[in-house]
């Protein structure tokens, strides 16, 4: 194992270790496994290179789990279900630019309020369509998805009605 010089005590005693790291959130805590640089002499801990983004991602995932939030993959699936773009979601949610992009990339967890709203949009395509139009989002692909959902729902309703009438 190659040792590196410590930034704190200058000993050539720093190597990569996998260690538990406790993430705390509103009275709860969750332990993640961190890949990080540790000095065997003074115990100084640092993160470098890919360890930094791995740590950020693991912390964000732990917060999502403790807060009961949708995962980054679920956010992606909801957006793609309606064929909306990341910028569309930012416009619908009235967030700053790149906010949804960061949520979907996983390193930044969405707020609980945003999470509840996103779940409502996922459950109800009619609400999602209204919110898209209200936000001034022009997206023909998403509009086509919503129009198809409406056509399918009408067909299903007509079929139910036909079956009911056939029984008379």
Residue with Cβ nearer Zn ion (8 or 157): 8
Considering only 22-30, 38-46, 62-70, 126-134, which stretch makes contact with Zn ion by CB under 5 A?
Answer: 38-46
Tell the smallest beta-carbon distance from residue 34 to Zn ion (Å). Answer: 18
Q: Which of 21, 32, 42, 57 binds Zn ion (CB under 5 A)?
A: 42
Residue with Cβ nearer Zn ion (13 or 135): 13
Residue with Cβ nearer Zn ion (3 or 133): 3
Distances (CA, A) of 94 to 45, 72, 97, 108: 39, 19, 9, 17
Tell the smallest beta-carbon distance from residue 75 to Zn ion (Å). Answer: 40
């Amino acid at each position: 194992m190659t040792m590196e010089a410590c930034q704190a005590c200058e000993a050539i005693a720093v190597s990569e270790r996998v260690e538990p790291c406790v993430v705390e959130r509103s009275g709860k805590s969750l332990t993640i496994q961190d890949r990080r640089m540790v000095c065997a002499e003074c115990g100084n801990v640092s993160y470098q290179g890919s360890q930094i983004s791995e740590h950020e991602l693991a912390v964000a995932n732990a917060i999502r789990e403790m807060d009961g939030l949708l995962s980054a993959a679920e956010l992606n699936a909801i957006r793609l279900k309606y064929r909306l773009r990341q910028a569309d979601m930012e416009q619908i949610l009235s967030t700053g630019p790149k906010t949804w992009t960061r949520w979907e990339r996983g390193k930044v967890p969405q707020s609980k309020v945003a999470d509840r709203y996103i779940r409502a949009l996922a459950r109800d395509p009619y609400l999602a369509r209204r919110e898209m139009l209200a936000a001034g989002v022009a997206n023909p692909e998403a509009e086509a998805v919503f129009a198809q959902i409406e056509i399918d729902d009408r067909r299903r309703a007509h079929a139910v009605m036909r079956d009911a009438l056939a029984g008379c």
